[in-house]
A and B are shown apart, each in its own frame.
Chain A
């Protein structure tokens, strides 16, 4: 959301400057009564630029039975740098990968450009994975562990409340995904729940999802992604 926040700041500053000017014109009686938040009405996108990945290497289906594929969102580490609660996406990815490696398995990262739905992202990652286990991570931080032969909206583990995630949880997600590969009895990461995250975060979640969705490029599909 970096660019969007910058944009809002820019517009806000412009409006404030204008208000100051008006204040001068009318002397000391003017009261700044208008809300400083400008309207976005009329704009069709959050980020004017769309990144092209047409020249990037397409993701291949893996053959290594130790492989866990991580499918990240279209805006991941580009238009969006941090999760909804401000964790840098570089650190998120590093921890998931470290978790997988700690359990002796091999991570591979792809960027998914044909869907921004986290369940489908995770399933596509699983289908590309040599082991059949995949992880989907949206840029806002929502994460799913999936297995290639499950129904799309089913999953092995789902972490729907992105505002409650921390790096330790991302690391455990990597570990658990690896354990599924090894066929171990896996104890799912305990659920967390904050009933008040919706009123605070839902609009931000919608904006971040729009920012991710507008970067989709279904014709390019899925590409190999090793970070920026």
Chain B
């Protein structure tokens, strides 16, 4: 066949480097509705659910049982289940029906019914739903702070810059897992340089993550993964009950925590039980609610290549975010994994969460160039900061970020680097040279920084664990090395755990350490003229992008 130049050009477009697959329900490659999905049903006897979505209690697997026992309001269930799914879908987009009323109705419906409701909504309606159902009045954003070298100095500097740019939460992880204690300390300090009140997390193996949290080296946790089929849960050596216990372990020490789930994981693990991705994700979200978690990170997350490959997959991703909000959970709505070779496609995918606003639009946004992102690349990275700021300005939308000046960036990066240098010295950890701090201050990514002595760092990391260094030791080291302000900020973060207010749904802290959550600042959107609006000081801030023409220069 003679080749068409038009087709040849199209074939080379980035979007055609992405992976796609036809629907294949038997293997779980189906977004919102599989022929094998169960039909909604419920039977309650003496306050106990004895039938759930076509399954009798004696046939329940442990996820069904957990959901039946803990995640559905049995007093409401039979009434809610008689409301047609189409009616519930319409209420979700009806500006005259409040968030509270919807939460009440939805508290009594089953996962299969929830799937039905979502199947009535197109993407614009899903966004309208999110605008109303998001827990916190004001949307927020979260960053990933990582680098290829696991360099703690760069973590501190990127954390400071990220905080300055507006992220309310920052999460790190490691290429070499044993670096975790150093990464956590660097992130804790650096974040407070950029803006007091930033929450920080170190994504690590669960027991390590819990230990770092208990010691006060992190201020929230996120990596409590739940799955939609029993087999995948068991493969991870877990059950919904063990996750609930882990959740309680964090709660007992006053730490904010959210669960993680997302469509595609069961497909990737080869155990989807032929169900649609949305149905399995609904089971995860019900399990999360049943375990008493205040929130969830979802929206396929690291498995985005799977829903992204099937028809309607991105609509499904937005549906799962909305289901989280409908269950009253804080939703940190993914956008945190490289998803497409096409700039057009990756931007379009993010608009679904960006335009209505979610509790955390990204979970998170790469606060470094993507080559340094140790979550294997985010959907947006440091090189997209100005694009993102312009999108906020173009559409008068609050995406959680703000434009900054070069002077501010250099100032906070340097201060963060020096503070970590001082704390490492004070605590007798691996040395950080002035040259390293200088390189990191002016760096874009780890290609511009000096090498670390990995062996010395890993010994220091082990030492942190062995010596039982805690957040208070970090406060002391900061105070003793002349960083009184940072010492106070880190101490204020530790105090949050005694007060516990920031464990409420969708909590973040402002720069004065005041909690903004779904409880004290709930979303009150009910159509035009209500809810959170971009105006006043915040709008002025968003307007101030760099590279604006000065008419006097013409």
Contact = CB atoms under 8 A, between A and B. Distances in A.
A173 to B, nearest CB: 14
B204 to A, nearest CB: 8
B309 A202 contact: yes
A199 B373 contact: no
A120 B237 CA distance: 9
Interface string A144-185: 000000011111011011000000000000000000000001
B457 to A, nearest CB: 11
Contacts of A43: 24, 26
A203 B176 contact: no
A117 B302 CA distance: 16
**Interface size band for A:** 35 or more
Given A195-B377, A196-B338, A42 B176 contact: no
A199 B341 CA distance: 7
B498 interface: no
* Most A C-beta atoms less than 10 A away, residue of B175, B264, B309: B175
B371 A41 contact: no
B259 interface: no
A76 B309 CA distance: 26
Nearest to A115: B235
Interface stretch (B79-87, B268-276, B385-393, B426-434): B268-276
Interface stretch (A50-58, A92-100, A186-194): A186-194
B24 A116 contact: no
Contacts of A202: 19, 264, 268, 303-306, 308-309
Interface residues of B, number: 52
B20 interface: yes
B534 interface: no
B269 A199 contact: no
Contact of A195 (B21, B25, B370): B370
A119 B182 CA distance: 24
Interface stretch (A63-71, A105-113, A207-215): A207-215
B353 interface: no
A37 B309 CA distance: 14
A121 to B, nearest CB: 11
A116 B175 CA distance: 22
A200 B18 contact: yes
Contacts of B370: 195
Contacts of A206: 264, 267-268, 270, 306
B27 interface: yes
A44 interface: yes
Nearest to A40: B24
Given A158-B177, A188-B454, A210-B270, A40 B374 contact: no
A193 B338 contact: no
A11 B73 CA distance: 49
Nearest to B223: A153
A41 B24 contact: yes
B171 to A, nearest CB: 16
Contacts of B371: 193, 195
Interface in B307-348: 308-309, 337-341
A46 to B, nearest CB: 8
Interface in B351-402: 370-374, 376-378, 381
B20 A203 contact: yes
Contacts of A205: 268, 305
Contact of B148 (A157, A188, A191): A191
B394 to A, nearest CB: 26
A187 B456 CA distance: 10
A9 interface: no
Interface in A60-108: none
Contact of A199 (B24, B340, B378): B340
Interface string B286-307: 0000000000000000111110
Contacts of B19: 199-204
Interface string B10-36: 000000011111111111000000000
A151 B205 contact: yes
Contacts of B176: 157, 188, 191
Contacts of B373: 193, 195
Nearest to A214: B270
B454 A213 contact: no
A206 B176 CA distance: 25
Nearest to A191: B175
B339 to A, nearest CB: 6
B7 interface: no
A10 interface: no
Contacts of A195: 338, 370-371, 373, 376-378, 381
A50 B151 CA distance: 47
B546 interface: no
B214 to A, nearest CB: 16
B210 to A, nearest CB: 11
A135 to B, nearest CB: 16
14 contacts: A40-B27, A151-B205, A153-B236, A193-B175, A193-B373, A193-B376, A195-B338, A195-B378, A196-B17, A203-B21, A206-B267, A209-B268, A210-B270, A213-B269
Minimum-distance CB pairs A-B, first 5: A195-B377, A202-B305, A191-B175, A213-B270, A195-B370
Given A154-B207, A202-B303, A213-B270, 20 more contacts: A39-B24, A40-B27, A41-B23, A43-B26, A44-B26, A116-B270, A120-B237, A153-B236, A187-B454, A190-B175, A191-B176, A193-B175, A195-B378, A196-B17, A199-B338, A199-B339, A201-B305, A202-B19, A205-B305, A209-B270
